[in-house]
């Protein structure tokens, strides 16, 4: 690991004023479960680490008007066990409860989970000069791409690693981003960026910005949600495929639907085609199957990940069936 | 010279090590312990006694090799190749040498590297971090060459030649009977192609060595499965580097208190010993080298993969008539033979006509090594899978099919008799425990998204009889307490505990009065901790050593009862008159009559009987559940029925079976080394991407031991257990998956990807 300076920030102001304009100047640390490993492998080599865990007031889950507000430094375990979250944002509660292992859920935070770097094994190998690290090539294309993207890939083909980001995308979610110039609210759907826009990053955060809170509009009682994650082993694993589904129901009819695919694309991937199959329909087995098929209709799998197409078809169908 | 290495009375005998057989010369023991009674309940042997180091281990106070921090310790790190194949033009250590804290740099003067992770040199620094920084400052100039890192490509005609010769190693061939006439006699013949993956041993403790090159002694703490063999090699290598130094087993000492697992990757020197010793000599400081998980994955061995073409013929009535196997395993960048892929085809079942050929394939990757039951899990996965398909084809219950072909003698019923074989009892009890009759009569005929099924596998470990040669020393003290001492290892199986049990039994004392001293090359030579042979090797030595030591008190007892010494015998610590056993003294009383403060004696283990083959057997059964939506398999229940002779400690023995089943399920479902063809690098040298099974997926495991006590192998009737429970798992799980889903997966590991593809093909086939 490269030597670095550690700043235990006490306030958000102190934190953001310590950040720089270059990623190598300073890195923001929440739980540290990703950053420290990445630094040990020299994937990230910041001069300074700004610790947000020491900032008070960022670890909370509260109701505010119609919203549920989750502080940026709230532990994933806390999100998973909170009763407001499990009641109103079931998919998020399930996703948080499925992250990695108990130890990592106890250390890791919600903002850290959303901002973690991809698990692509070419990106994680210091010796491989891939596009995400500033190289000219995505090694997954001609390499082993079993776990890579079937949507939105190119020129880099990572999948976004976060489970909670997939669930949060199924709700009306807003992120609050802070820098030394002020505070702004960003719709969650505008937070993530595709590699065609910037292959070196996964979201719009600048080196001098941090997330302070996540605001989710509590859906009405007629909205139900669920999250399904396929992983190769039962614990301590990233998704091979996941889906977050929320549906606003009137009897057996679906009025609105959100279908978000995880581990499908470099960002949480909304499938409008699947949503269209559900919206305005009486939810039957046939509709569920159609939604599953629609979810992958225009996917572009790589050499080793065609099975994901079948997998998404299956889990979207299961998610729909389970919700009604 | 260690005095026990002189062999005055020699005999040639055959020994087995990790599935291979060698002829060695050994010294015969003076006196052999009486065979323990078969039926009688014993006082200590056979009892569930917690391992003696349990508290130390779970509280973290047990010292493993990397836990020793002597005064002045510095840290070594290795310089490794980042290329899969290259000529080395230059290794420039000058920048590294100037880095803060650096005490020494070392170049191994290699002119080429053959795989990523190949060692080029080393540095030593005051802290581990400084050593790591210094390694990064080493400049290596490579001239890259073509390479090949996967077996399918290495077998192509125009593939780069890994070792400058053909990539195919010399084949091992075996023929019995006449294969063609065997197939002619068959009513049904099935052929299959099977692939298994490369497994990394991944003991929790990566390879570690710490060397202290002192004026009088070169002391090396080493994580090794073989203290004696490793010591011998380290001496040989150091002598070749330092021909003027006096280095022998008089002054080069190897020590290890506890080993954090090995599974075969710590047999012989790991390579760190001599580098740590050289750095220690240069710096005059103790040097510790502890590998990272990544280094261990690249460079400390692996179970080779396999590609097996298998063909089996049988009569409609169930008799096997012919078995043909062509196999390949990639062995890495080392001139090493293939894993032994023969045991299922050649040994497991009665079959007169067998033809086998298998060979190694060279790759630009870390070399293969013996890995828990070398060859056997691969062979049994393929064979037991195809056997189940054949059972279906001739419409016979898979268990009945196996019983129909039960072999009473070795080599498929054509060779010498087995010393014991309790497999029939394993079949019966195992089938009952799993509820064999409840399995789907038609594969895949289980309603719903979560399909359940039951499968089985037989297994034989072509070893486990133990080897002669290990020596145990015994001290008897005036207060009745004893030391027993031998240079064996505590690999984590409870070796110390069972040695104490055997001593307590034969001395008629409390087990807490037995102090066990192991893990030091200054002790009498023990036995290796591999091949499932330690228990069957060391425990007879303990018994013979006790006999020899008690004999030193015979003069006392002979005087007391006015008989000559040849009229005496000993049992449970009592030295008594053979003709009148009521006239006897416990050694605690006898020893009071001698002037020395303690009595010390030693004994060694004799050879295995010539006319028998000593193998271990088992039958595995399991129930799985497959989620056909996600393609995930979960093993719900596992029944492992084993014939390993007398079980000295059912607690530690079951523990080994549990570990093997969990490891075996990981091999069946999740573990695999993945190599990238373009970069020549391993993509997953870590515990995230190389998936060992988490404890949440450990099924309910029911361990059954057969009542067989081996009547001829040794005086305790014991056989090994370490490897056997790994052998049946993959075949058993694959067969259960087939029974649940109707999908035959012929390529390990059986990931969601393969199940989803299989389910899709099946759905398309039926619609």
Q: What is the ipTM of this complex?
A: 0.96
User: How far does the CA of residue B477 sit from the closest CA of chain A (Å)?
Assistant: 50
B748, B691 contact by CB (below 8 A): no
**A202-206: long-range pairs with CB below 8 Å, 24+:** A202/A115, A202/A117, A202/A118, A202/A158, A202/A160, A202/A266, A202/A267, A203/A114, A203/A115, A205/A115, A205/A177, A206/A21, A206/A179
CB B626 within 8 A of CB B737: yes
Residue B18: predicted pLDDT: 64
Pairing status of strand B74-80 against strand B119-125: antiparallel
DSSP B454: E
User: Is A144–B632 a contact, with Cβ atoms under 8 angstroms apart?
Assistant: no
3-class SS string, B138-173: CEEEEEECCCCCCHHHHCCCCCCCCCCCCCECCCEE
**B414-467, pLDDT tens digit by residue?**
999 999 999 999 999 999 999 999 999 999 999 999 999 999 999 999 999 999
Helix pair angle (A307-323, A285-296), 10° resolution = 150
CA atoms within 13 A on the CB side of B59: 5
- Distance, in Å, from the CA atom of A189 to the CA atom of A169, rounded to the nearest integer, reads 7
Tokens 């739980």, located at residue = A31
Beta carbons of B757 and A317 less than 8 Å apart: no
For chain B, give the number of residues.
767
Find the CB nearest A315 among B630, B674, B676: B630
Instruction: Give pLDDT, residue B29.
Output: 87
Which of B82, B696, B756 has its CB closest to that of A307? B756
Which of A33, A127, A143, A233 has the highest number of chain B CBs within 10 A, making it the mutation to test binding with B?
A233
Which domains does chain A show, CATH number per domain?
Answer: 223-323 (3.30.390.50)
Contact indicator for A19, A207 with CB cutoff of 8 Å: yes
Question: Which residues from A are below 8 Å from B678, CB to CB?
Answer: 139, 142-143
Min CA distance, B153 vs chain A (Å)?
A: 14
CA distance B506 to A1: 56
Residues of A near B (CB-CB distance < 8 A)?
1, 42, 101, 119, 121-122, 125, 127-128, 139, 142-144, 146, 228, 230-238, 240, 306-307, 310-311, 314-315, 317-318
CB contact under 8 A, B752 and A240: yes
From chain B, the residues in CB contact with A233 under 8 A are 669-670, 691, 693-694, 697
* Whether pLDDT at A69 is above 50: yes
Residues of chain A contacting residue B693, judged by C-beta atoms under 8 Å apart: 233
Judging contacts by C-beta atoms under 8 Å, the chain A residues touching residue B697 are: 233-235
Q: Point out the residues of chain B with pLDDT beneath 50.
A: 1-2, 5-8
Structural Rg of chain A based on CA atoms: 19
Out of A125, A238, A314, closest to residue B629 by CB: A314
Q: Treating both helix axes as pointing N-terminal to C-terminal, what angle do B495-507 and B534-551 enclose, rounded to 10 degrees?
A: 30
Q: Do B757 and A307 touch (CB under 8 A)?
A: yes
Report residue A6: phi and psi, to 5°: -110, 125
The encoded tokens of residue A291 equal 């939604």
Whether the per-residue pLDDT at A245 is higher than 90: the answer is: yes
List of residues 6+ apart from A278 with CB closer than 8 A: A247, A254, A257, A259, A287, A291, A320
DSSP single-letter state for residue B591: G
Chain B partners within 8 Å of A307 (Cβ): 631, 752-753, 756-757
Tell me, what's the pLDDT at B12?
Answer: 77
- Cis upstream peptide for A155 (omega within 30°): yes
- Residue B6's pLDDT is 44
| Residues above pLDDT 70, as percent of chain A | 100
Q: Cβ of A311 and B688 within 8 Å?
A: no
C-beta atoms of B697 and A235 within 8 A: yes
Q: How many contiguous H segments (helices) and E segments (strands) does chain A have?
A: 11, 12
Q: How far is A145 from chain B (nearest CA, A)?
A: 10
Taking CB atoms and an 8 Å cutoff, what residues of chain B touch A101?
694
Q: How far apart are CA A207 and CA B105, in angstroms?
A: 39
Q: Using CA atoms, how far apart are residues A117 and A119, in angstroms rounded to an integer?
A: 7
Q: Which tens digit of pLDDT belongs to each residue from A10-31?
A: 999 999 999 999 999 999 999 9
What whole-number distance in Å separates Cα of residue A199 and Cα of residue B45?
A: 65
Degrees (nearest 5) of the Cα angle B517, B212, B258? 35
Are B372 and B663 contacting, i.e. CB atoms less than 8 angstroms apart? Answer: yes
Virtual torsion, Cα A24, A26, A27, A32, nearest 10 deg? 120
Q: Which residues contact B390 (CB under 8 A, 6 or more apart)?
A: B188, B190, B312, B314, B401
Are B691 and A318 within 8 A, CB to CB? no
B-interface mutation test, from A307, A309, A313, most B Cβ less than 10 A away: A307
Q: What is the DSSP string of A189-211?
A: GGTB--TTT-TT-SBS--TT-EE
Among B185, B182, B254, which Cα is nearest to B218's? B254
Structure token pair of residue B681: 């690098």
B631–A235 C-beta distance less than 8 A? no
The residue whose two tokens read 């009473």 is: B408
> Distance (Å) from the C-alpha of residue B740 to the closest C-alpha of chain A?
19
pLDDT of residue B766: 72
For B628, name the nearest residue in chain A, comparing CA atoms only: A314
The whole-angstrom separation of Cα B105 and Cα B76 is 9
Which tens digits make up the pLDDT trace of A105-151? 999 999 999 999 999 999 999 999 999 999 999 999 999 999 999 99
Helices B376-393/B650-669 angle, 10° precision: 70
CA–CA min distance A237, chain B (Å): 7
Residues of A in contact with B680 (CB under 8 A): none
B264: CB partners within 8 A, 6+ apart: B18, B201, B225, B301, B303, B369, B370, B371, B372, B374, B530
Report d(CA B19, CA B13) in Å as an integer.
16
* Nearest chain B alpha carbon to A139: B678
Contacts of A125 in chain B (CB under 8 A): 679, 681, 683
Q: Which helix (H) or strand (E) holds B192?
A: strand B188-196
Q: Is B503 helix (H, G, I), strand (E, B) or coil?
A: helix
Most A CBs within 10 Å: which of B144, B633, B696, B752, as the mutation test of the A interface? B752
Contact A235 B696 (CB under 8 A): yes
By Cβ distance, the residue of B82, B684, B760 closest to A310 is B760
Across the A:B interface, residue pairs with CB atoms under 8 Å apart total 88
How far apart are the CA of A307 and the nearest CA of chain B, in angstroms? Answer: 6
Q: Is residue A234 left, alpha or beta, with left meaning phi > 0 and alpha meaning psi from -120 to 50?
A: alpha
Domains of chain B: 3-62+466-604 (3.30.365.10), 65-145+202-299 (3.90.1170.50)
Instruction: Kindly report the nearest CA distance between residue B689 and chain A, in angstroms.
Output: 8
A143/B757 CB distance under 8 A = no
In angstroms, what CA-CA distances link B324 with A306, B230, B304, B358, B393? Answer: 35, 38, 21, 11, 18
Residues of chain B found within 8 Å of residue A311, distances taken between Cβ atoms: 630-631, 752, 756
A58-68 tens-digit pLDDT: 999 999 999 99
Chain B residues within an 8 Å CB radius of A309:
none
Burial of B567 (0-12, 13-18, 19+ CB in 10 A): middle
**CA-derived radius of gyration, chain B:** 27
Look up residue B740 and give its two tokens: 């649940």
In contact, A179 and A169? CB cutoff 8 Å? no
Identify the pLDDT of residue B40: 85
* Residue in B669, B679, B753 closest to A146 by CB: B753
């Amino acid at each position: 690991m490269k030597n670095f300076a550690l700043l235990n920030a006490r306030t958000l102001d102190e934190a953001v004023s310590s950040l720089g304009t270059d990623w190598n100047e300073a890195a923001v640390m929440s739980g540290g479960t990703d950053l420290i490993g990445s630094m040990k492998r020299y994937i990230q080599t910041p001069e300074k680490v700004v610790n947000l865990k020491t900032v008070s007031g960022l670890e909370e889950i509260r109701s505010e008007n119609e919203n549920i507000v989750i502080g940026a430094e709230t532990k994933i375990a806390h999100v998973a066990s909170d009763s407001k979250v499990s009641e109103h944002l079931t998919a998020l509660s399930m996703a948080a409860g499925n992250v990695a292992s108990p130890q990592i859920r106890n250390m890791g935070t919600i903002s850290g989970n959303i901002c973690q770097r991809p698990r692509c094994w070419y990106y994680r190998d210091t010796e491989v000069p891939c596009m995400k690290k500033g190289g000219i090539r995505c090694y997954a294309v001609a390499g082993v791409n079993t776990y890579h993207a079937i949507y939105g890939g190119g020129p880099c083909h990572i999948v976004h690693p976060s489970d909670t980001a997939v669930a949060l995308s199924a709700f009306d979610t807003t992120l609050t981003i802070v820098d030394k110039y002020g505070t702004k609210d960003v719709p969650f759907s505008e937070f993530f960026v595709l590699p065609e826009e910037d292959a070196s990053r996964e979201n719009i955060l600048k080196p001098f910005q941090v997330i302070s809170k996540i605001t989710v509009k509590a859906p009405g009682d007629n909205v139900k949600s669920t999250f399904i994650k396929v992983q190769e082993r039962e614990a301590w694993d990233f998704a091979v495929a996941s889906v977050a589904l929320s549906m606003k129901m009137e009897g057996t009819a679906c009025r609105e639907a959100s279908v978000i695919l995880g581990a499908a694309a470099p960002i949480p991937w909304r499938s409008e085609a699947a949503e269209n199959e559900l919206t305005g329909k009486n939810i039957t087995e046939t509709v569920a199957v159609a939604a599953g098929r629609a979810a992958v209709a225009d996917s572009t799998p790589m050499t080793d990940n065609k099975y994901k197409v079948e997998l998404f078809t299956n889990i979207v169908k299961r998610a729909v069936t389970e919700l009604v | 010279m260690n005095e026990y290495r002189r062999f005055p009375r020699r005999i040639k005998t055959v020994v087995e090590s990790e599935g291979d057989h060698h002829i060695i010369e050994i010294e015969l023991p003076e006196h052999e312990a009486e065979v323990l009674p078969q039926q009688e309940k014993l006082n200590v042997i056979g009892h569930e006694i917690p391992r003696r180091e349990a508290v130390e281990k779970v509280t973290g106070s047990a010292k493993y090799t990397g836990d020793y921090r002597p005064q002045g310790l510095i840290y070594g790190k290795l310089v490794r190749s980042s290329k899969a194949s290259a000529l080395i033009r230059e290794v420039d250590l000058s920048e590294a040498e100037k880095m803060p804290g650096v005490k020494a740099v070392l170049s191994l003067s290699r002119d080429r590297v053959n795989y990523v992770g190949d060692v080029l040199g080393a540095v030593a620094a005051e802290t581990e971090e400084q050593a790591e920084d210094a390694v990064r400052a080493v400049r290596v100039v490579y001239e890259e060459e073509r390479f090949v890192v996967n077996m399918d490509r290495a077998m192509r005609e125009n593939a780069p030649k890994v070792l400058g010769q053909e990539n195919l190693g010399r084949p091992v061939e075996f023929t019995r009977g006449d294969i063609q006439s065997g197939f002619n006699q068959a009513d049904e013949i099935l052929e299959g192609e099977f692939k298994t993956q490369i497994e990394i041993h991944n003991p929790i403790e990566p390879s570690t060595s710490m060397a202290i090159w002192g004026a009088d002694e070169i002391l090396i703490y080493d994580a090794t499965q073989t203290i004696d063999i490793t010591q011998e090699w380290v001496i040989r290598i150091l002598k070749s580097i330092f021909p003027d130094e006096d280095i022998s087993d008089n002054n080069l000492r190897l020590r290890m208190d506890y080993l954090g697992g090995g599974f075969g990757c710590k047999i012989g020197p790991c390579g760190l010993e001599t580098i740590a010793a050289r750095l220690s000599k240069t710096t005059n400081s103790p040097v510790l080298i502890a590998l990272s998980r990544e280094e261990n994955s690249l460079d400390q061995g692996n179970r080779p993969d396999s590609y097996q073409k298998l063909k089996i013929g049988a009569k409609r009535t169930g008799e096997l008539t012919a078995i043909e196997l062509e196999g390949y395993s990639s062995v890495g960048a080392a001139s090493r033979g293939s894993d032994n892929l023969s045991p299922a085809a050649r040994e497991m079942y009665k079959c007169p006509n067998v033809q086998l050929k298998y060979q190694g394939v060279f790759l630009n990757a870390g070399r293969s090594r013996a890995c828990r039951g070398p060859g056997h899990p691969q062979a049994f996965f393929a064979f037991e899978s195809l056997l189940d398909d054949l059972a279906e084809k001739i419409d016979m219950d898979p268990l009945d099919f196996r019983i129909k072909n039960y072999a009473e003698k070795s080599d498929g019923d054509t060779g010498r008799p087995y010393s014991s074989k309790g497999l029939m009892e394993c079949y019966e009890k195992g089938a009952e425990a799993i509820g064999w009759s409840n399995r789907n009569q038609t594969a895949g005929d289980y309603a719903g998204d979560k399909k359940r099924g039951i499968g089985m596998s037989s297994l034989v470990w072509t070893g486990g009889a133990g080897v002669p040669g290990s020596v145990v020393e015994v001290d008897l003290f005036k207060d009745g307490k004893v030391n027993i001492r031998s240079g064996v290892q505590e690999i984590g199986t409870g070796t110390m505990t069972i040695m104490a049990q055997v001593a307590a039994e034969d001395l008629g004392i409390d087990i807490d009065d037995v102090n066990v001293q192991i893990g030091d090359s200054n002790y009498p030579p023990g036995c290796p901790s591999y091949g499932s042979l330690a228990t069957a090797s060391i425990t007879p030595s303990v018994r013979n050593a006790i006999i020899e030591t008690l004999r030193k008190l015979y003069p006392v007892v002979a005087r007391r009862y006015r008989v000559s010494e040849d009229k005496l015998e000993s049992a449970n610590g009592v030295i008594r008159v053979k003709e009148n056993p009521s006239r006897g003294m416990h050694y605690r009383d006898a020893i009071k009559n001698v002037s020395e403060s303690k009595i010390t004696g030693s004994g060694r283990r004799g050879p295995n009987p010539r006319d028998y083959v000593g193998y271990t057997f088992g039958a595995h059964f399991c129930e799985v559940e497959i989620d056909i939506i996600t393609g995930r398999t979960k093993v719900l229940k596992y029944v492992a029925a084993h014939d390993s002779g007398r079980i000295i400690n059912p607690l530690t023995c079951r523990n080994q079976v549990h570990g093997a089943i969990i490891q075996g399920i990981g091999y069946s479902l999740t573990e695999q080394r993945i190599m990238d063809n373009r970069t020549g690098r391993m993509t997953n040298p870590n515990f995230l991407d190389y998936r060992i099974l988490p404890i949440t997926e450990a099924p309910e495991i029911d361990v059954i031991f057969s009542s067989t006590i081996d009547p001829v192998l040794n005086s305790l009737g014991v056989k090994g257990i370490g490897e056997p429970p790994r052998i049946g798992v993959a075949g058993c799980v694959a067969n259960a998956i087939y029974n649940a889903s109707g999908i035959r997966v012929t390529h390990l590991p059986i990931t969601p990807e393969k199940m989803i593809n299989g389910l899709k093909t099946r759905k398309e086939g039926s619609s």
